[in-house]
Amino acid sequence: MTQENFLLNSAGLTHLDRQGQAQMVDVSAKVPTIRQAVAVAKVRMLPATFAAIQAGNAPKGDVLGTARIAGIMAAKQTATLIPLCHPLPLQKIAVDVKPDPQLPGYQIYATVKTKAETGVEMEALTAVSIAALTLYDMAKALEKSIQIESIHLVSKSGGKSGDYSPPEQ
């Protein structure tokens, strides 16, 4: 093991083995606890695009419903998409697509909950990311310049590290 790998591993980087290779963390000794995470993404668009979606006049159909279902499906597939994520038994996945006339556009929230040995932050972040991409796909015939932005964790609870919410900005 090189000194650099030793320093990385001794710094508590749990996804690296002693040789500095990526590994899936062994969580088998951890006690399952209730864990929840909430993530958000913003989808910004032109006022005319926003108005068309709100009126249900998008060429591909139900933009918001399709984005919501895509987000739910994505959360369930996180372990197949993110290489070192553990497959988890998800007990709750809620994806809300909320209109925000001030953007103009939508804020997409995902809440994911489980009782497991590890958290669900990646599932919530995956859900909002795929929901936002689906919204773009469903509305790109109206506007190609739609912007997906500010994907981040809003909160998490449970587990060894406890609760988290970002500092006020």
Contacts (Cβ under 8 Å, ≥6 apart) of 113: 34, 35, 36, 90, 91, 92, 93, 120
Q: Is 123 annotated as a binding residue?
A: yes
For residue 167, the Cα-to-chain-centroid distance in whole angstroms is 19
At 20, list the tokens.
Answer: 């500095």
Sign of CA dihedral 55, 57, 61, 67: negative
Q: Is 152 annotated as a binding residue?
A: no
Q: Is 86 annotated as a binding residue?
A: yes
Catalytic-residue membership of 137: yes
Among residues 17, 26, 62, 137, which one is catalytic? Answer: 137
Residue 20 gets the label, from left (phi > 0), alpha (psi -120 to 50) or beta, of: left
Which residues contribute to the annotated binding site for substrate?
84-86, 122-123
